[in-house]
Structure 1
Amino acid sequence: MLLTLQNYSLKVIYKPGPEMYISDILSRATAQCTGRGTAYQWHAICSLQQINQADYLNVTDHHLAQIRQHTDKDEHLQSLKSMALAGWPYLEEGTPFTVREYWTIRDEISVQKGILFRGQKVIIPKSLRPEMLTRIHSSHIGGDACYRQARETLYWPNRQAEIKDFVSSCTTCNEHDLEQQKETMMSHELPTRAWQIVSMDLFSHRQNDYLLIVDHNSDFWENELLPDLSAETVIKRCKAQFARQSQPDKVITDNGPQFTAQFKRFVSEWEFARQSQPDKVITNNGPQFTAQFKRFVSEWEFDHVTSSPRHPKANGKAESAVKIAKNLLGRALRDSNDPWKAIVQWRNTPTKNKDSSPALRLLSRRMKPAIPVANKLLKPCVIVGVTDELRHRKQLAKCFYDRTARDLPELEVGETIRMKPLPGDHTGLWRLGTCLQKVAPRSYLVDVGGPLYRRNRVDLCVAEQTNQNTPYTHLDELDHSPGLRVRGAELRQKEEDDN
């Protein structure tokens, strides 16, 4: 039509309908229907009038009658039915408050045999929602999956929130909870000199036990072969390393028994003498870092920071160094080489994305390697800018790590929690308990029955109010159960009002 009109130069003038006399009269003079119509036309009209969505619900007639019955008893849905049949007001303000939440979907609501529909979705009466929630979550799939299932067939206001609350309060799901969302990276403070902050850990390799101490500033690590795992042996090796390297300001360890009482006296005496005495020593929570280690800490006077058990990330510096040490020892022993030569070679190797080696950053000189080297390269050479470079690397790592991480809310003392299953617990059940104390950032002391446990926040989750004791109400029983408990947001609000 547009191509045909291109041959003409048209002038379009707007006129109201009452002024367009000819076209207005012709539009009102509709042609009269002649004849009685064919059999096909009458059949099509009859079939169209007989289509009813209620006839196509995949439920028994008995349950269909119950849905209709409880729809009739629901005052809000009765008001909604009247609005759907009689027509909605022109403005939302004229809509009764009880059905105002349906205003945005008013064009989709219909009434079929006494049952309300939103499109092809059944609008569930309030008294039937508890069982619908139970049916939706009968296979104990996640909250999002339950909502995706329900949104295709069922509808009621605030449906998604109620499904989420119901799933989060499911006892079975809470006992078999999955891993929690990882939290944002929390880095240790930056050292300003070598051997100021060190991390410790114990590891075993081919039936031999070792103590590993790693410097946070240079990445230089020392490992000591231990004849036994007693606290006295660990403390003797620590003293030898601190005398050779430096007395640290902070020592980070795990929470083992070797790093407690006796080690604390050592810390107090030495005030955190092999490299230099460090200012801080960081270990995990292993048994070597508890009772006697506490006396060691007290004697040598350095800060002793322990990490949460079963959370190696908190002592990641030591864990990373242990991985490197095991790799070097394993390959050297396999080739019948001297493992100490392998360690010297690693210390002389420049770190990835850096221009200096751990030995150069700690000792300000290269160690004599097994390969030819000029004498000039073995002379002292001070490396500057180590702290700034370390700060940049930490900031960059945190930036990328935090993209998929978020902080979990802190736990309150006395709050009911669930703890991640213990190692060897094949049931996989998260144990119910109580938060007793906040020991350190993201680290809590909890009671789950029996001994007390210290755990990181990612191993603890808030125990939602369970619906295990809420009676299951079948459709056949709803006529005799007027006092049904409504889960989700309404139940929570009611309990807050009662308290």
Structure 2
Amino acid sequence: MIILMGIRDEELIQKLICLPSHSPLQDMVKTCKSFEATKSATSDIHAIPNQLCAVSAYQKKKKGQYRPNPSPPISTPRVSCQFCARRHDSGKCPAANSICNNCGRHSHWARTSKCPATSIQCRFCNRMGHYEKCGLQDLRVAARVDPSYTRLLDCVSSGFPSNRNDLHSTLLPFWKIRDNLSIDGELVLYGARVVVPAVLHRRTLSRLHDSHRGVESMMRRAKQTVFWPGIDSDITSTVHACESCQMFQPSQQQEPLMCDDNSTWPFESASDDFFTISGKSFLVIADRLSGWPVLVPCKGDTTALNTIRFFCRYFREVGVPLRLQTDGGP
């Protein structure tokens, strides 16, 4: 009873009353300690919700302090492109399929480090950064301001006079080729070649001569594109006045190879010539398709009458060829 009078918790008093009356003091102390431990655990379980949320937020914040930061995504650095002078990803250059306006080459834009005309000075406008240009628009503009070209255009459109003396003096060089002249808009054509106005002769020669390939090469380029009376002599004078061409051209230039038409059947084309061996003369006739030779002994008689007799016999045997090539006789 003395112990029960000092306890305020009624639940603990009920537990102690339920103990046997002859229970020792140690069992009563153990029951009190067990009750206090159980009550303390129960109070923690039924704590206020706000306190539980604060503890949870604190734990999360404490764990986040030790979490490593995610690494940024790896990307290819953008560098300034030499072909377009812009920054872009690798393989995405906008100038890949472009044509430069200053040099006429592909895969770069004008005024970039890849343009070969960046350090070139135009000889006609004295500006830097582009090659000399002579396009159709320049030809049309020059044709309008050239009085002799205007007379030629009117003469070709209306027809040349019947008498050569009635022609203007500046148009006399066109008299022999008047039947081959035609008109395409504001330009005069000689066959498929454009007749260049006189004010553009020097510029055109400069463009034909830009590769320093010699007279024959310049003439071949000119025969495909441009024409004016005396263009061949102007090309020759231009090459002879060039020190680089005179220094590096070969002393004996090789003539262009002339190819014959290919034969389609035997003895369509034949070649013949005389030769002498051991004092005896022979006429050899060879088929150009198969290379089959026909050897005719001449017995020292290579006159025209005997040669005609040899060929008549040959034509009776194999037929008359379409082309017969000789060197002009013995």
- What is the TM-score of this pair, normalised by structure 1? 0.23
Query: Which is bigger in relative contact order (C-alpha 8 A, separation at least 6)?
Result: 1
The structure that has the greater radius of gyration is 2
- What is the TM-score of this pair, normalised by structure 2? 0.35
